Amino acid sequence: MREDVFLIIDDQKSIALFLKDQLEQLSPLPVLTCHSLAEAKAVLNTDINVVVCLSDLHLPDAPRGEAIDLLNSHHITTVVLTGSYSEEIRKEMFQKKVADYVIKDSPSSIRYALQTVITLYKNAQRTLWILTSGKSAYSNKLVGLLRIHRFQVKLFESPEELSTQLAKSQPDLILLEDVDNIRHSNIYEFINKVRERFSQNQLPMMACEPSDNIATAIKMMKYGVNDFFNTTFTAEELYVRIKQNIDHANAYNEIEYISQRDALTGAYNRGYFFKQGHVLFNQLKQMRKYFFVVMADIDHFKLVNDNHGHQKGDEAIIFMADALQTVFADFLVARFGGEEFCVLGEAKDAAKIEELCAQLRVMVEEESPKKVGIPFTVSQGLTFSGEDLEGAIARADKALYRSKENGRNRVSVEF
């Protein structure tokens, strides 16, 4: 398998080494440096895969930007970093389909170039979906520019087709283009349906409209589109606005993840359990479906900490969380605090739920010596009844204490 690397081409060795050092701090990917066109040719003839290149425009043996032509011939995504600037050169660079063109005139511009390299690398794992009539002259331009920035692009010519795919997977961003010419569709109804499932923070949407149709773009924003741009857009404008929208969504999702998850184990935390648990519990009750609640607690956990230290105690809790999320993978699992966990879900088959509890008990008893380095067990309380979520948890907790009183390492059921 070919090795992925970044490539830096700069005739000044000190600058190349500085850029290499900075890039290595931002990514674990290997970074190669070249100082001439000849060296670049030699590197590109080896069995490596240059994913993104940061290249100077003028080299001693390539004074007219021949390095860019070389990189283009190898289909390598390139960011040009140069000390010279003119509007003519800028236009020439984008005609050669470079990903970006950055002036090497300040620390901030160099930081921007390095961050752009990282963004371009990550873009290969990002998906953009375009809803278009298929007749617009701008669709091909959009797709071409997005692929220069390494995005995975998929085109849809009907809201129904996109909605069907959205039920299976989620893109990083949806672009709406030439929507007035999409036949037999209500674009506002489509936007509403998307927003019923995903907030503007979770899934950004952008619209591309001509100057004489700005009213449509503004109306779409009132229905839930995040941003719009004019069909006369430049490549830089497109890239900046897409990056801002994706970065905003990623930041929101990261904050949301942190707010929902236990920092030690990665399992859901107590607050998220009750927020989602109330919704799930009420849905099951309204649909007259059966539910179950399990309370699980590591036996003699204080002795684990006292005899083996808090590091081993943390490892035991992490192992317990992983075991619960493996056995109860289809249900809501949360760490309640300390060594205590809770599980909630639909009980289609009570005997199957009891079997899962028994499976967890055996897994912890048999695997803890190998995975954590010390043996320990788990006690569990299980219930299939309760007027509300809090009541069901109380009943499972009562069953848990009965397991503790009866010798631990067992499952007790409160009917």
- Chain segment 139-173, per-residue pLDDT in tens: 888 999 999 999 999 999 899 999 999 999 999 99
Tell me the CA end-to-end span of the chain in Å, nearest whole number. Answer: 57
pLDDT at residue 183 greater than cutoff 80: no
Same fold yes or no, 125-259 and 270-414 = no
349 Cβ partners below 8 Å, 6+ apart?
Answer: none
CB neighbours of residue 319 within 10 Å: 21
Residue 239 contacts residue 100 (beta carbons within 8 Å)? yes
- Give CA–CA dist 57/233, Å, rounded: 25
146 Cβ partners below 8 Å, 6+ apart?
Answer: 128, 153, 242
Average pLDDT over residues 279-298: 96
Average pLDDT over residues 278-288: 94
pLDDT at residue 134 greater than cutoff 80: no
Residue 232, Cα to own-chain centre: how many angstroms? 31
pLDDT band at 84 (very low <50, low <70, confident <90, very high): confident
Q: What are the strands of the beta sheet with 332-337, ordered from one edge?
A: 332-337, 340-346, 291-298, 378-383, 411-414
Q: Which residue has the tokens 């904050």?
A: 255
pLDDT at residue 184 greater than cutoff 70: no
Partners of 220 in beta bridges = none
Q: Which residue has the tokens 């140069």?
A: 82
pLDDT band at 325 (very low <50, low <70, confident <90, very high): very high
Q: What does DSSP say about strands 77-82 and 100-103: parallel, antiparallel, or unpaired?
A: parallel
Average pLDDT over residues 200-209: 94
- Give CA–CA dist 412/380, Å, rounded: 6
Q: What are the boundaries of each domain within the chain?
A: 3-122, 125-259, 270-414
Kindly report which listed range (131-140, 144-153, 220-229, 396-405) carries the lowest average pLDDT score: 131-140
pLDDT at residue 1 greater than cutoff 70: no
Helix, strand, coil tally for the chain in percent (to 5):
50, 20, 30
pLDDT at residue 368 greater than cutoff 90: yes
Average pLDDT over residues 339-368: 97
Average pLDDT over residues 261-288: 95
Q: What are the strands of the beta sheet with 100-103, ordered from one edge?
A: 31-34, 3-9, 48-55, 77-82, 100-103
What's the CA dihedral at 53, 117, 143, 90 to 10 degrees?
A: -70
pLDDT band at 194 (very low <50, low <70, confident <90, very high): very high
Q: What are the tens digits of pLDDT across the range 7-48?
A: 999 999 999 999 999 999 999 999 999 999 999 999 999 989
pLDDT value of position 233:
87
Class of domain 3-122: alpha beta
- Of all residues in the chain, what percent carry a pLDDT higher than 70? 99
pTM for the model stands at 0.79
CB under 8 A, 24+ apart: contacts of 210-214: 213/180
Arithmetic mean of pLDDT over the chain: 93
Higher-confidence residue of 155 and 133: namely 155
- Give CA–CA dist 50/19, Å, rounded: 16
- Give CA–CA dist 414/400, Å, rounded: 9
Class of domain 125-259: alpha beta
pLDDT value of position 94:
86
Higher-confidence residue of 66 and 82: namely 66
pLDDT band at 185 (very low <50, low <70, confident <90, very high): confident
Average pLDDT over residues 77-99: 88
Cα distances from 138 to residues 130, 143, 195, in angstroms, run 11, 9, 26
Residues in the chain: 415
pLDDT value of position 212:
80
Amino acid at 104: K
pLDDT at residue 265 greater than cutoff 90: yes
CATH number of the domain located at residue range(s) 270-414 in this protein: 3.30.70.270
pLDDT at residue 135 greater than cutoff 80: no
